[in-house]
Chain A
Amino acid sequence: MTSVYDENGKNIPCTVIQAGPCIVTQVRTKETDGYEAIQLAFEEKKEKHTTKALQGHFKKAKTTPKRFVAEFTRFEEKKNYGDVLTVDVFVEGEYIDVVGTSKGKGFQGVVKRYNFKGVNDATHGQHNRMRAPGSIGASSYPSRVFKGMRMAGRMGGNRVKLINLQVVKIIPEKDVIIVKGAVPGPNNSYVKIERWS
């Protein structure tokens, strides 16, 4: 993340995203697949790192192997194999959704994972119970712990979608967009950008 200034001198926290060029590597149609979508591929990959099956897949679109592939629905205009999409699809000031994988946090207790309060009192009998979850249910009825009870466990690494992030600026020469606020995931990770309109 970094920050830029708008015309009023206001400091805007923002994320820089390389948003292209993306190449159409597959077109799904109602007749063959039962639904309409296009598959976009992004970033070069060495051919020796690509399986034979994927090499054939990219050859069909007459392009080199790519690292990241994602499917998109709701495209208004028709796209063909090998079409290149750049940041021209975005408009400055519009709102987009960003889908990514959040940073893994490892095995975490309930205070960090579910925002439990913990015990707010250091005295009155507490000595190692400060971040404990407390009761997880009643006794003889139901005699079991309900499914979905929030407990300690693996946190992060989930698919996260952030909606309504504003496109602050577009740099067409570099295929870069600048988005207001943070996006899920660590630096240099891949995200999917969607738009309702």
Chain B
Amino acid sequence: MGKNELIKMVEDTVAVKDFPKFKAGDTITVTYKIKEGSKERLQKFQGVVLQRVGGGPTATFTIRKISGNVGVERIFPISSPFLEEIVVNKVGVVRRARIFYFRNLRGKKARIKEKRM
């Protein structure tokens, strides 16, 4: 069954910015706006894409980085108005669409083969 036409109509009004293509295993840098009181500033988050979920403007993606010795994950909605820019740093070679096994890997094991352009 296709998506309800009414839902489609509403989702068409939600703007999704043009971002480069990326998939699980890629290393990307996300620049997003942060509100601190009345001030707005930009912050960057660089990490490995674990998964992309959903389609259309409700889609999200999860990226993971190691900060200090702690793994940090962030989920971004693709249509979030706070998203400023996405830069693909590395294109990884992975065999699955969701690389949750990556969470259990540390140190030298936590490397993803890079696809050379």
Contacts and interface: CB of A to CB of B under 8 A. Distances in A.
Interface stretch (A4-12, A35-43, A48-56, A87-95): A4-12
B80 A16 contact: no
A187 B4 contact: yes
B87 interface: no
Interface string A167-197: 0000100101010000000011000000000
B84 to A, nearest CB: 12
Given A3-B58, A5-B79, A18 B14 contact: no
A1 B3 CA distance: 10
Contact of A16 (B7, B14, B57): B7
Contacts of B9: 16, 171, 174, 176
A164 interface: no
A9 B76 CA distance: 13
The majority secondary structure among interface residues of chain A is strand
A29 interface: no
B81 A16 contact: no
Interface in B96-113: none
A171 B8 CA distance: 14
B16 to A, nearest CB: 11
Contacts of A158: none
B10 interface: yes
A11 B11 contact: no
B81 A9 contact: yes
- Please classify how large the interface on chain A is, using the bins under 10, 10 to 19, 20 to 34, 35 or more: 10 to 19
A54 B14 CA distance: 42
Given A2-B58, A3-B58, A187-B4, A16 B10 contact: yes
A188 B14 contact: no
Given A3-B58, A16-B7, A176-B9, A9 B14 contact: no
Contacts of A188: 4
Nearest to A11: B77
Contact of B81 (A5, A14, A176, A178): A5
Contact of B14 (A1, A5, A17, A187): A5
Interface of A: 1-5, 9, 11, 14, 16-18, 171, 174, 176, 178, 187-188
Q: What 6 A-B pairs come out closest when comparing CB atoms?
A: A9-B81, A16-B6, A2-B7, A16-B10, A16-B7, A3-B58
30 contacts: A2-B7, A2-B11, A2-B57, A2-B58, A3-B14, A3-B57, A3-B77, A4-B10, A4-B14, A5-B14, A5-B79, A5-B80, A5-B81, A9-B80, A9-B81, A9-B82, A11-B77, A11-B80, A14-B10, A16-B4, A16-B6, A16-B7, A16-B10, A17-B6, A18-B6, A171-B10, A176-B9, A176-B10, A178-B10, A188-B4
Given A3-B14, A5-B79, 16 more contacts: A2-B7, A2-B57, A3-B58, A3-B77, A4-B13, A5-B80, A5-B81, A9-B81, A16-B7, A18-B6, A171-B9, A174-B9, A176-B6, A176-B10, A178-B10, A188-B4
